[in-house]
Structure 1
Amino acid sequence: MTTPRSRTIKPKTEQSTAQRLSSVVKSVRDSMRKDKGLSGDADRLPMLTWLMFLKFLDDLEETAQAEAEFEGRTYRPVLEGVYRWQGWARSDLTGDDLLAFVNQEKYELRPGEEMPGLFAYLKGLQGEGQRDRRTVVAEIFRGVQNRMQSGYLLKEVVQKLDALDFTSSDESHTLGALYEGMLKDMRDSAGDAGEFYTPRAVVRFMVKALDPHLGETVLDPACGTGGFLVEAFEHLREQVKTTEDAELLQSRSVLGGEAKPLPYLLAQMNLTLHGLESPQIDSGNSLRHNLADLGDRDRVDVILANPPFGGEEEKGIQNNFPADKRTGETALLFMQLIMRKLRRAVSKTRGGRAAVVVPNGFLFADGVGARIKAELMAEFNLHTIVRLPNGVFAPYTSIPTNILFFERGEPTGTVWYYEHALPEGRKNYTKTQPVQFEEFAPLLSWWTNREENERSWRVDASVLAANSYNLDVKNTSAAQDFEHMPPEQLLADILDKERRILSLLEELQAELGQQMAEVHA
């Protein structure tokens, strides 16, 4: 086996432009397409992600080490020796030797001398606490594997990625935007990968409506690839004015939970590329904790979420919830968790607030669903329900969806409904014509100056309670939009009208029959 040996690298050129970065990333993806172990973007993007992560970490380490030397301090890097990016990616290792170093549990330097392989080393890192970078790196790489089969193509890829410079804030910001685009490409082409995607326009609207403030903590307990957290982080970053503000932003501004290894890795990289130095993403199932054990220390100020719906949780998870509200339906369990995690209102301080995407089924759910909604309206102010039109989540699901906005503290008095309209002339949103953030301008304008109109209406909480907490309330003052109505709803409406017509005809027939009988009498 060949020993990894560093080689001299030319100094980086001047700061990269967006065009050059795009070219680098495209070139890397083109190289990956040649490898037989990667069958699509769902394979290529995770591969690109862990490589970029190691390059980012090395750039960060290099900067920290230089600062420590300047200040006369001792600095211990997270990754040491040959396991740093510059130690192996810039070495002479290539082909089968490179694959062996990356993949194998033990790498043989020379006969009788072995060392852990790269992945074995990374997975075995142990930090002093959960948020120690060594712990984070170990968590990330426990769910990662190298799928490239050609060590020569792998070498080609790492050499191209070595041109990236994560020490440049402008470059990192540009890479963040490029990465968002790659995430969308993967979601569009990877089938069930769409389960952890919420359109950016919807995400941005929800963040703007809740308006998190610097110093507050934002949580997404089912964060997927981190879309809500990235948008919240960017929103909070606009409020940074001082060094202290910048430190506050980095300390505990956004938190997430994601149990699946792939989206967990993608969320880590997504937040990292957008400037969060140590993303705090829990890699366990957010539903694994007993609800009764969650106290004030576990609560947060703001929750933004699109919990998975249609899933089925095991009995062990269900037992973490109150006996009268146990169910296998993932969305109902997440709703209970979100309610529990919102900070209580103390003195003059407002309680925690949330914006949560739910399917139509939650609005009219009975049984456990109705009991959850009863608790929601008794202990929280469910002040707004935004009804989204067809196709917002195309092509991932055609299920009609809504956004619930609620705040802990006062019980619900009145629920405002707002029906977000499709653009004029459109019958649906599609993959190629998705919802745009600008379309939410009328809703954001109405948000702070509410009036009933053809798109908004309000319902007293007592009316909803009397109807078994069925929140699926239509706007009776608005004309029905038959052109945009879903086929099954249109058919049901036609059948209902036909039944009413038949009933009227039967009444008329009976009345005529009675009149004829009187005449003959």
Structure 2
Amino acid sequence: MLPNNPILKSLINSLWNVLWGGGISNPLTAIEQITYLLFMKRLDEIEKQRENETKKYVSKFSGKYTPEFILNKTESEKKSKKEIQRLKSELRWSYFKEIKSKEELLKHVRHNVFPFIKTLNGETSPFTKHMSNAVFVIEKPSLLSEAIEKIDDIFIEIEKDAKDGGHNFQDIQGDVYEMLLSEIAQAGKNGQFRTPRHIIKLMAELIKPKLGDKIVDPACGTSGFLLGAYQYILTDLTRKKSSIQLEKDEDGFETGSYSSVLDEKTKAIIDKSFYGFDIDITMVRLGLMNLIMHGIDNPKVEYNDSLSKSYNELNCYDVVLANPPFTGKLDKDDLNSNLRVDTTSSELLFLDRISSMLKIKGKAAVIIPEGVLFGSSNAQKRTREIILKDNNLEAVISLPSGTFKPYTGVKTAILMFTKVKENSEEWNTKKVWFYELQSDGYSLDDNRRRLKDFPLPETVIEFDNRNKSKKTDRKSHFYVPISEIQENDLDLSYNRYKEYVYVEQTYDPPKEILSKLILLEQEILKDMEELNNLIG
């Protein structure tokens, strides 16, 4: 995968440097422009694949368009360009990358190709709506030409890595995309940290979304959780159809070729399954393109603050997967009156919001800072009460403190809960399963190197079999009854209930230890005397 492919990593760094050297120094602007180009390339690849799979498929590049800029203009075309119709095939990456004139290439991409992709899904789609104000800012012909060459080289290396390493093409492309996205992840900025892909996979495996589930992330960023749920569903469909098509990925999870299960009926269901909200319009665009590049034709990602007065969806979703912003302070005047926790701390409000978004029997997997689990403020205790009363809190999975490095070393946990009743007066949680993940399969330093063990699938197995376990001790994973949790002021931290084993240490008598030290000192002095004689 990407961390082990120095060629691919070098190409990505080179692409980044090309834009940086070309005057696009704002990381967010650079990633937007790179994403637009990646999207153009990937769209061409997807359309070719679908055209080859079935002769009945009508490509997005079928038909004609009216160009704003006309290639190889004749005098008559210059005078009546509004009436000139050209084949949409000219808008394909494979066509325009062959344009020899760099000036014509830039004008064609800016004035014809980019407007085309902005309206790709029709006037009423979220993609078209949120792309309406998108701007193509590459102004230098040589910069665009070089960037196109770099992206072609990246895709060639992706294909080679997929073939030689037996990896899934989409997974490697996801690595490429995530590395680019990591350039805009600044630790501490609004409390937002990009969730590692292997943690997203773990949460999808734990929650097990099904085809037809309505799945949402209320603070979706670049839609990594939605993509993780989508890939889990396709892998599960592949498993049911033909398990021999599955293989183990680099984290020990099963994955497979998705093309065999993506028929028209499945695609239609998937198009109605994925929803996301974010307060950053750039993230909305990146999230939409990320999902479309992976085969979700019409995702429902919207520019909206799910904590604000403008958001009023309740009891709507079957699955919530989220890593909401930590410690973000909000405008109290704009908070939705339906929120039940008196605070401006985003991590608490999002837990309340996620609980209310779930349908009855809907499931959630949410990453939260561990301070939420044991904090003594009224808002923190009220939040835990909502989770324990309105839901069956099934598990608290403590993550290693280095999970979000190099961005932050904050200790986090995953909460797994199922909705039972809104505004319940009773405790619908009867017992909570606690588990400590000591390693996530990567080194817990800033480098995050892949290790040899595979602890994440083991975590899923333990979670799935938690009710079958006959363990009575509390040394690694265990149940705690709600009565004990109530006695501990609703503390939900793993360390509160863990059983610590103390090994008794025996020591030599002090006089014996001193005698050994004297002998050791004499040996050192003897060696020093010999050394002194050697140097004269």
Q: TM-score, normalised by structure 2?
A: 0.67
Give 1:353's match in structure 2, choosing from 359, 363, 386.
363
> SS at 1:288's partner residue?
coil
Kindly indicate whether residue 35 of structure 2 is the aligned counterpart of residue 46 of structure 1: no
Note closer, same or farther for the CA distance 1:51–1:437 as it changes in structure 2 (3 Å cut): farther
- Per-residue CA deviations over 1:52-91 (Å, capped at 9, x if unaligned) read 22344466678999999x8799989799333768349468
Give 2:486's match in structure 1, choosing from 465, 468, 478.
465
* Distance in 1 between residues matched to 2:62 and 2:215, nearest whole Å: 30
What is the match of residue 409 of structure 2?
Answer: 398
* Distance in 2 between residues matched to 1:27 and 1:477, nearest whole Å: 47
Note closer, same or farther for the CA distance 1:231–1:459 as it changes in structure 2 (3 Å cut): same
Kept in 1, the 8 Å contact 2:122–2:128? The answer is no
Give 1:380's match in structure 2, choosing from 378, 386, 391.
391
What is the match of residue 90 of structure 2?
Answer: 86
What is the match of residue 197 of structure 1?
Answer: 194
What is the match of residue 307 of structure 2?
Answer: 287
* Distance in 1 between residues matched to 2:487 and 2:415, nearest whole Å: 20
- Following superposition of structure 1 onto structure 2, how do residues 255-404 of structure 1 map, counting pairs within 5 Å? 255-289=275-309, 293-296=312-315, 299-322=316-339, 324-344=340-360, 351-365=361-375, 366-404=377-415
Please report how far the alpha carbon of residue 412 of structure 1 lies from its aligned counterpart in structure 2 after TM superposition.
0.3
What is the match of residue 439 of structure 1?
Answer: 455
What is the match of residue 23 of structure 2?
Answer: 37
> SS at 2:22's partner residue?
coil
Give 1:152's match in structure 2, choosing from 134, 142, 146.
142
Please report how far the alpha carbon of residue 427 of structure 1 lies from its aligned counterpart in structure 2 after TM superposition.
9.2
Please report how far the alpha carbon of residue 415 of structure 1 lies from its aligned counterpart in structure 2 after TM superposition.
1.2
How well do the aligned residues superpose, as a CA RMSD in angstroms? Answer: 4.3
Note closer, same or farther for the CA distance 1:449–1:190 as it changes in structure 2 (3 Å cut): closer
What is the match of residue 8 of structure 1?
Answer: none
Note closer, same or farther for the CA distance 1:343–1:405 as it changes in structure 2 (3 Å cut): same
What is the match of residue 137 of structure 1?
Answer: 128
What is the match of residue 485 of structure 1?
Answer: none
* Distance in 2 between residues matched to 1:117 and 1:339, nearest whole Å: 45
What is the match of residue 5 of structure 1?
Answer: none
Please report how far the alpha carbon of residue 388 of structure 1 lies from its aligned counterpart in structure 2 after TM superposition.
1.4
Kept in 2, the 8 Å contact 1:387–1:419? The answer is yes
What is the match of residue 510 of structure 1?
Answer: none
* Distance in 1 between residues matched to 2:60 and 2:498, nearest whole Å: 67
- Following superposition of structure 1 onto structure 2, how do residues 48-197 of structure 1 map, counting pairs within 5 Å? 48-57=34-43, 80-82=65-67, 86-87=90-91, 89=96, 127-129=122-124, 131=125, 135-140=126-131, 142=133, 144-158=134-148, 174=169, 177-187=172-182, 190-192=185-187, 195-197=192-194
Kept in 2, the 8 Å contact 1:454–1:477? The answer is yes
Q: Percent of counterpart pairs with the same letter? A: 25
Note closer, same or farther for the CA distance 1:408–1:118 as it changes in structure 2 (3 Å cut): same
- Per-residue CA deviations over 1:332-386 (Å, capped at 9, x if unaligned) read 1211111011111xxxxxx001110000121123212222221221110012101
* Distance in 2 between residues matched to 1:177 and 1:72, nearest whole Å: 27
What is the match of residue 413 of structure 1?
Answer: 430
* Distance in 1 between residues matched to 2:63 and 2:281, nearest whole Å: 22
Kept in 2, the 8 Å contact 1:318–1:326? The answer is no
Equivalenced residue count is 430
* Distance in 2 between residues matched to 1:81 and 1:400, nearest whole Å: 55
Kept in 2, the 8 Å contact 1:180–1:270? The answer is no
Kept in 2, the 8 Å contact 1:318–1:327? The answer is no
Which of 430-439 and 361-370 deviates more? 430-439
Give 2:475's match in structure 1, choosing from 427, 450, 454.
454
Equivalent AA in structure 1 for residue 372 of structure 2: F
Kept in 2, the 8 Å contact 1:37–1:147? The answer is no
> SS at 1:375's partner residue?
helix
* Distance in 2 between residues matched to 1:420 and 1:90, nearest whole Å: 48
Q: Which runs of 5+ in 1 are unaligned?
A: 1-18, 104-115, 345-350, 482-521
Equivalent AA in structure 2 for residue 313 of structure 1: L
Q: TM-score, normalised by structure 1?
A: 0.69
Please report how far the alpha carbon of residue 51 of structure 1 lies from its aligned counterpart in structure 2 after TM superposition.
1.6
Note closer, same or farther for the CA distance 1:179–1:457 as it changes in structure 2 (3 Å cut): closer
- Per-residue CA deviations over 1:141-181 (Å, capped at 9, x if unaligned) read 52x4444342222134346657979xx9x999625523423
Note closer, same or farther for the CA distance 1:469–1:247 as it changes in structure 2 (3 Å cut): same
Equivalent AA in structure 2 for residue 82 of structure 1: P
Note closer, same or farther for the CA distance 1:422–1:61 as it changes in structure 2 (3 Å cut): closer
- Per-residue CA deviations over 1:19-56 (Å, capped at 9, x if unaligned) read 9x959965971772573323376554322211222344
